[in-house]
Structure 1
Amino acid sequence: MSRIYGERIVLREYQDADLLYMKKWVNDPNITANLSDNFLYPHSSYETETFFKTMVEGKALSKSFVVGAIESQEYIGQIDLYKLDWKNRFASLAIVIGRKEYLGQGYGSEAIRLIQKFAFEELNLNRLELEVYEYNQAARKCYLQCGFLEEGRYRKKIYKSGKYWDSIVMSILKDEYENRSYTNVLSQ
């Protein structure tokens, strides 16, 4: 698999050293609070290792990358294209920045822009889509900055902290991506 280089990060393959970082965030409520209900219950070391093994062996149905620091290649998070539909040329996007010290510094935005470039220019996809929870304003702002548009909502789909929240459906189309001007995104 080719690596995708940005200004501060690289999207790369999973490596043995990544497992330690994954084990640190997978049960951290500060990281998992905005992720899917897959993280509602604690993950055992075995579950995390099994997932990791699937990724390392390339057996996952998704096309997944580690978001690594460009200089050290050290793990920052993960970004995935899943539910790939080759006939209709679309995929769903998921991302997690798994290390708190990297949150809010634009690493997620850079990773999303790199995966958009890969999806639209290399895979020839026509659409990327995602869901973001209404209460996750930081992620929603990031997606908007990366060109995603709100398409609709699943009303009161998510129950969190004693309240029901909407799940917002967002997408970006290839022609919208092509008409945007991205800076600071390089690939090799």
Structure 2
Amino acid sequence: MNSVTSVRLRPTMLSDLDFVISVEQDPLNRKFITPWERTQHEGAVRFPDFRHFIVEAGAGTQAVGFVILQGCRNPHRSVEMKRIVLQTKGQGLGRACVRLLTQMAFRDLGAHRFWLDVKSLNTRALAFYRSEGFIEEGRLRDSVKTDDGYDSLIVMSMLESEYQALRDAREAGGV
């Protein structure tokens, strides 16, 4: 596996939405997410409670995916990683992106809790999020319709104190 050390997040512009929609509609991604309508993405770009970013990697400004945070103004300091969709897989971009988003949630947005949900059939993502320090909180049984029936959503989170401990361990070279 190649290791890409740097990813950049830049605010999504309305002119990026054709790319965003194409990434969501890709059959490799579609089964793991519930795609949005263009108007939903437009709202997320414009509404201050959201942060909608294009993920860039490599030497230039090559767009490789997008991410959405929601709850950025949540009075309970609970920020959701609403969506992360990457075209380029197997190069460490997801890990770099999640670490950047986690740092942003706790350091920049003042989160107390950073959370996400993931389809139970997405076992690779579940293992990945666990490896990044997210803890399973519960299961929303058969809560999303799929082409084959229904799937459950697994709710996972990381608390501010857990993030701090993980960050300290990484800085000390333990993780």
| Same fold (TM > 0.5) | yes
Question: What letter corresponds to residue 90 of structure 2 in structure 1?
Answer: G
2:103 to 105, 113, 117: 117
C-alpha contact (below 8 Å) 1:97/1:103 kept by paired residues: no
> What is the count of residue pairs matched by the alignment?
166
Q: C-alpha offsets along residues 88-118 of structure 1, whole Å, 9 cap, x if unaligned?
A: 111111233342xx11322112111101111
1:96 corresponds to 2:84 = yes
Match among 150, 165, 174 for residue 164 of structure 1? 150
| Residue 129 (structure 1) aligns with | 115
Q: Which residue of 2 aligns with 1:51?
A: 41
SS at match of 2:53: strand
Residues 55 and 67 in structure 2, CA contact (< 8 A), matched pair in contact too: yes
Kindly indicate whether structure 1 or structure 2 has the higher relative contact order, using CA contacts under 8 Å at least 6 residues apart: 1
The aligned residue for residue 142 of structure 1 is 128
Cα separation, partners in 2 of 1:27 and 1:151, compared to 1, 3 Å:
same
**Matched residue, 2:23:** 25
The percentage of counterpart residues that share the same residue type is: 26
1:179 to 136, 147, 165: 165
RMSD: 2.6
Give, in whole Å, the separation in 1 of the partners of 2:33 and 2:14.
24
Amino acid of the structure 2 residue aligned with 1:162: D
1: CA distance, partners of 2:155 / 2:44 = 28
Q: Distance in 2 between matches of 1:162 and 1:54?
A: 29
Name which of structure 1's ranges 127-136 and 59-68 shifts more when overlaid on structure 2. Answer: 59-68
Cα distance, 1:63 vs structure 2: 1.4
Query: Is the CA contact (8 Å cut-off) linking 2:11 and 2:51 kept in structure 1?
Result: no
Alignment match, 2:66? 78
1:179 is paired with a residue whose SS is helix
Segments of structure 2 that go 5 or more residues without pairing to the other structure are none
**Shift of residue 17, structure 1, vs aligned partner:** 6.4
Evaluate the alpha carbon distance shift between residue 35 and residue 54 of structure 1 in structure 2; reply closer, same or farther with a 3 A threshold.
closer
* Contact preservation (8 Å) 1:153, 1:166: yes
Amino acid in the other structure paired with 1:174:
E
Unaligned runs of 5+ in 1: 1-5, 184-188
**Aligned counterparts of 1:23 and 1:166: Cα–Cα separation in 2:** 24
